[in-house]
Structure 1
Amino acid sequence: MEDSIHEIEHEHINQCGNESKAASSLSADKLLEKLLRPELATLYTDLKAYGERALLEPLPSLSFRLYSQFSDTGERKAYEQAYFDRRGRLAAVAMLALDTARPDALQALEEMLWDVCGEYTWCLPAHLGTGEVIQVKGNIDLFAAETVHMLAEIVTIHAERLDPLVIERIRFEAEQRIFTPLYRDQQKFHWQTADHNWSAVCGGCCGMAALLLLQDESTLRESISHTVNCMNAFLSGYGEDGGCAEGIGYWVYGFGYFTYYAEMLREYSEGELDLLTGSKIAAIAAFPLRVHLSGGTFVNYSDSAEQEEIPSGLLSLLASRVGLQVDLPLHIPMLTDDPCHRWAHLVRNVMWSDPAVYGDKGAFAQAERGFIFQNLGWMMAKGALDSPNTKRTNDAPLHVAMSVKGGHNDEPHNHNDLGQFIIHCGGENILCDPGAGLYTQAYFAPGREQLFHISSSGHNVPLIEGQEQSSGRQAQAHVLEAKLAEGGGELDTTLDLTSAYPGAASLARYTRQFHWEMSSDGSRDRAELRLIDRFQWKSRMVSSGERFSSEDESDAGYSSIVERWMSRVQPDVVKSGNLRWQGVHGTVRMAYDANHWRVFTEALDTVDHDNVPVTFYRTSLSWTGVIDEMDVRIEGPDPLETVCEVRFIIESKMGEIEVSQCE
């Protein structure tokens, strides 16, 4: 894929079009016509409410006190709230100004554009270290790139009505802050070769601004070459399976801006430069639908949320370009749904959203019922359960799913979560992943693996000999088996996770085995996940209270095992050896061996990525079995192995289910 992009670029770059072709779809009249479509009525109402409020209030100040908070305390939220509110107000007013009968909106737009041009930096303090002038000058981060792109498109859309001095000021600031350091001086930035979202967002935003604003043909050609290189770097972070290690939220961000630039470049070059081609691009485009579980809830490993807004314009464009089958209902995100109020998503939701590609019965029928991401190391299976009530009332079936994560512990936005799994039922991840925590200085600093959202302590993985999983590329899940039955009715997966626990001195090998199947007892459908964890030890262990020792005292250590299950639902004990998590539409019950495992649940209060309080319930199974080397029976348990076997049974909420202890 990468080679073909380079070949196209070198062959046709000198024959590209001009800036008017790149701007042809950014017509104020066309945009207003699209905005007034009936399916965008709610979006338009949201925009008007936000915009009208912005007309009455001054822009929030990006004061020195706010700016210095990050370097002084590590706090970044207050500055960023003001920063993104400024961008959101600018976006809303720019849309209101499409109406030529609103001179007040146009005047306010000019003031806002002038104000943004006067900001000390377009970067976030969190990306500038101590924030001194030498770090600010010529620096380009995600949001400096997004800002120049936003300004370039607003100027293009309103070119005929904006004061020429405002336009000149924007061109000047774009040149000084972006084009000169990036294309003329060819300053090096870390994101130019990054294999994650930064290369696509920074490269794509600057590249789109260049297509719209640059008038120097040689520099414009340099910008295309530069941006294509960034896009190649971005694509190198994906395997042929199209899986995004950063999670669904960063798929939206990185691949979204890859797509936005690709479409503008295709338009600019009259189809000669087309980055949205090939099997790998098609696989990447399919990622959000493959990790969608049901009801708008997604697999949310890494720094992603369970409920993610997929831009309707992006999905519509991908459906038309790569034949994506969209099995989601149409939902056009509001500007205020996005805490960053991103202009690129907003405008393309207006321009590209196509209700015809959503909710198609054929798409639902063709939706994949499971998928194994061979390169990424994620596995998932999906299905639907009928119940007597469903069959009697013709209600929709209960959608259930499970997902398992392999990979390694040095991924972009990494969590130490090898062997993590999710159980989904009726639009709800009942056994869940905590997703992203609040971004602070500590979140990206050394020692970050101690934080709840990042540590293995916040995931459905065990504590072994008092040791959490370690960070680093060497901590890797080795896939021993990954087999998905046709239709997704069965999934068998076995992972070797030994390397994730180098601190567990007595551990010789740890494997985690999953078997998922859909079944029916004639009256009720159900899904079952059987999980078997095997811990093999380097030498025979003997009991000494809570502490264990081996025959070789140099191997002394804790042989204790604590399994953990995370949920937003507080479980209750049905009877000894049986727990139940009662979801909104379905029930998950767990059967375990109460003779050897002690259960307890604790409430853990934290905040999510948006600083909203959330409580997780961590249920732990603690190993209580004792092996005495003087009482080893030939047919008894292997003294060098501890096994935890549990069964999770998933059914609809109504009715009773028979459960039994693990054998």
Structure 2
Amino acid sequence: MELPVWDPSNVDGPTLDALRERASATRDTPWPVPLAGQYARYFRDGDRDSYEQVIWARDQRVSRAVALAAATGEEAWLDEAADGIALFCEQSSWCWPAHDDTFTRHGAVVPTVTDPYLDLGASEVAAQLAWADHVLGDHLDERLPGLRARIRHEVDVRVLTPFERRRDWHWLGLGGKVGNWTPWIHGNVLVASVLATDPARRATLQGLAAGGLERYIAALPDDGAIDEGYSYWWNGAGRLLEALELLDRPIEGRVRATVAFPHSVHLGGPWYLNHADGQARPAIDQPWALLHRAARRAGDAEAEAHAAAHRVPGGPVAHENQGLGRLLRALTDPAWRAAEPRPLTGGGDAWFPSTQVLLARDAAGLTLAVKGGHNDEHHNHNDVGSVVVALRGVPVLVDPGRPTYTALTFSPRRYEIWTMQSGWHNVPRIAGAEQAAGPGFAARDVAVEDAGLTLELGGAYPGDHRWRRKARLDRATGRVTVTDAWELAGGGGTTEIRWMVAGVVRPAEGRAEVDALDGAGTIALTWTPAVPCAAVVRELDDPMLSDVWGARLTRLDIDVSGLGPAGTLELTIEELR
């Protein structure tokens, strides 16, 4: 495998202009410098974001400079790129502190340079340097002799040699469990392997990387679903598709199915169905050229059109925040440059048996999404049986998503975070108890029927309760109904059916009206019997949440305790026109 030929005569002008404007604004400023104290903060107080923001700012500055130097050959940009490359080579660690095992193995809160950890961050820098070497090689040899040798040395000792020698990395998937790290790191190692000077070793590295990709493919479900949701598709299945393109491997079977995943879970406009740690409104500036190329290779016209809908004619084809490799590929993709956008609308109905997620749509109004599954999914939230309802593509009954990552996020204390708890999802609180985490806490007797899903939720909770939920979209009336029927096995706590709502909420007896975000319209929630309901306002001070939902979310707690240990409640959701 070799990286594709770089042709500076075929680059996209508007993208270069935008890169030059941003790069010129920072060129004469000090480079972002990651500090030991910032690295140590993760181990001291759990803050990982401060260090990562510095790293990403440096990464993007290098990518801008490399792209400009490769496209123009201008010495000023070549020097800027070389400065950034040298700083990466001098950086103590390419690993992000949240992933480093420096503390558990060595008792250190700063990088142990003699024992580098190969994580997402390290693999990203290795691939970035490989791409830089690929497109700037002759220029570097002429202007900065010796820098390419330094690149090869650092990539070797930090990434290639550890990848060969240490085979206990969890992301290798050798134990059968894989996640988005598996294709992400293996794909980056595949790119970095071109820096190995010995052809036999290069072939060995590429064989090991291809083996990791195969393990990820084997774990993909036949329906192409990603249990981490749309946001993580880009750095899971999307990374796989990039790597397969470099290997000139066909897109078929379950890999072809996953090309369809983004448009299948699209709700409308910038909104997507989110589960786990995904956002309902992720950054619109995704690497759409990647999906466009994959869809073309897979022969998936709908996926190609979905990607093309994000193409702004005459605008930049990519951004440096997508990574250097993705930027360079988009810069020289004439089909992506010429892609004709069409209005971005939600897809059709979808059913993913592997994750037990159903989407049913009424083109004129409401979309219903229901989730079964279990509480040990990747980036898991305790959300078995959760329902999302969108009005004209804008979520109204919502899954909040996740706040900024900290040390708590992937620790044994994960479920202390409110957004991970079932109490802040659209599921019941049964006899004072919320859902528990673990693979055994799962939906049962899941059945798809006529634009709806029926499932047993009791097994997701402690105790021996029965809770049958049926959620259905009636296209004839444009209404969604959610019917809950229960038989409780004791317990003295309150039983409530909870609904997370985005927008302006006006509760009344047995009823609530909600003005949706983005001016999408107003819906009414009506429940029978008209039992009491309390509105709990959750102020949002984390940008990962407030950038999506605004200043607050409201939780409607419908108290069904008075209906006794066995009862039924029906909720109707409809648009008020």
Q: Tell me the TM-score normalized by structure 1.
A: 0.78
Q: Identify the residue that residue 119 of structure 1 maps to in structure 2.
A: 91
In the alignment, is the contact (CA less than 8 A) between 2:384 and 2:427 conserved in 1? yes
2:560 matched residue in structure 1: 623
Deviation at 1:223, TM superposition (A): 1.4
Aligned to 1:428: 394
The structure-2 alpha-carbon separation of the partners of 1:335 and 1:77, relative to structure 1 and needing over 3 Å to count, comes to farther
User: How far 1:196 moved relative to its partner?
Assistant: 1.1
Compute the displacement of 1:139 (Å): 1.5
Distance (Å, rounded) in 1 between the aligned partners of 2:256 and 2:331 = 23
Give me the whole-angstrom Cα distance separating, in 2, the residues matched to 1:357 and 1:46: 19
Given candidates 553, 567, 571, the residue that maps to 1:646 is 571
Distance 1:477 1:443 in 2: 24
- What is aligned with 1:384? 363
1:176-325 to structure 2, matched below 5 A, reads 176-183=157-164, 185-193=165-173, 194-210=177-193, 212-266=194-248, 274=249, 276-308=250-282, 309=284, 310-324=286-300, 325=302
Q: What corresponds to 1:347 in structure 2?
A: 328
2: CA distance between counterparts of 1:356 and 1:106?
29
Question: Match for residue 90 of structure 1?
Answer: 62
The answer on whether the counterparts of 2:123 and 2:189 sit within 8 Å (CA) in structure 1 is yes
Change in CA separation of 1:230 and 1:334 when aligned onto 2, cut-off 3 Å: farther
Q: Indicate how the Cα distance of structure 1 residues 591 and 334 shifts in structure 2: closer, same or farther if over 3 A, else same.
A: farther
Task: Indicate conservation of the 8 Å contact 1:26/1:153, yes or no.
Answer: no
Match of residue 466 from structure 1: 432
Q: Is the 8 A contact 2:12 2:337 kept in 1?
A: no
Match of 2:510 in 1: 577
Instruction: Measure, in 2, the Cα distance between the counterparts of 1:91 and 1:311.
Output: 15
Equivalent in the alignment of 1:568: 502
Residue type at the aligned position of 2:170: H
Q: Structure 1 residues 570 and 236 mapped into 2: Cα distance closer, same or farther (>3 Å)?
A: farther
SS of aligned partner of 2:544: coil
Q: Among residues 78, 98, 112, which one is paired with 1:106 in the alignment?
A: 78
Residue matched to 1:476: 442
CA contact (8 A) 2:361 2:473 kept: no
The residue identity in structure 2 corresponding to 1:529 is V
Structure index of larger Rg: 1
Matched, 1:144 2:109: no
In structure 2, do the counterparts of structure 1 residues 306 and 611 end up closer, same or farther at CA, with 3 Å as the change threshold? closer
Within-5 A mapping of 1:440-589: 440-484=406-450, 491-502=451-462, 505=463, 507-519=464-476, 527-538=478-489, 557-558=491-492, 560-573=494-507, 575-583=508-516, 584-589=519-524
Distance 1:357 1:286 in 2: 18
- Inter-CA distance 380–311: structure 2 relative to 1 (3 Å threshold): same
SS in 2 for 1:169: helix
Matched-pair contact (CA < 8 Å) for 2:289–2:317: no
The alpha-carbon distance between structure 1 residues 467 and 461, as it changes in their structure 2 partners (threshold 3 A), is: same
Point out 4+ residue stretches in structure 1 off by more than 6 angstroms.
Answer: 332-338
The answer for the alignment partner of 1:596 in structure 2 is: 531
- CA 1:401–1:611: 2 relative to 1, 3 Å: closer
**2:147 paired with 1:166:** yes
Question: Separation in 2 of the partners of 1:595 and 1:319?
Answer: 49
Letter in 1 for 2:201: T
Amino acid at match of 1:536: E
1:330, 1:187 → 2: CA distance?
A: 40
Deviation track 1:215-258 (CA, whole Å, cap 9, x = no partner) reads: 21221221122112211222233211110001111111112211
Counterpart contact for 1:123–1:141, Cα < 8 Å: yes
How far the C-alpha of 1:61 sits from its partner, in A, is: 1.2
Q: Contact 2:529–2:570 at 8 Å: present in 1 too?
A: no
Tell me if structure 2 keeps the 8 A contact 1:383–1:400.
yes
Give 3-state SS (helix, strand or coil) of 1:277's partner. Answer: coil
Question: In 1, distance between residues paired with 2:538 and 2:82?
Answer: 51
Q: 1:334 to 1:254 in 2, by over 3 A?
A: farther
The 8 Å contact of residues 178 and 206 in structure 1, kept in 2 or not, is answered as yes
Q: Does the 8 A contact of 1:457 with 1:463 survive in 2? A: yes
Tell me what 2:354 maps to: 375
Task: Kindly tell me the number of residue pairs found equivalent between the two proteins.
Answer: 552
Quote the offset at 1:450 in angstroms.
2.1
Shift of residue 334, structure 1, vs aligned partner: 7.1
Superposed CA offset, 1:76-97 (max 9, x none) = 1111110110001101111221
Give 1:25's aligned amino acid: V
TM-score w.r.t. the length of structure 2 is: 0.90
Equivalent residue letter for 2:259: A
How far apart are 1:608 and its partner, in Å?
Answer: 4.3
Supply the RMSD in Å over aligned alpha carbons. 2.5
Q: Give ranges in structure 1 of 5+ residues lacking alignment.
A: 1-18, 267-273, 386-398, 485-490, 521-526, 539-554, 628-639, 656-663
* Secondary structure class of the residue paired with 1:200: helix
Q: CA 1:611–1:134 in 2, change beyond 3 Å: closer, same or farther?
A: farther
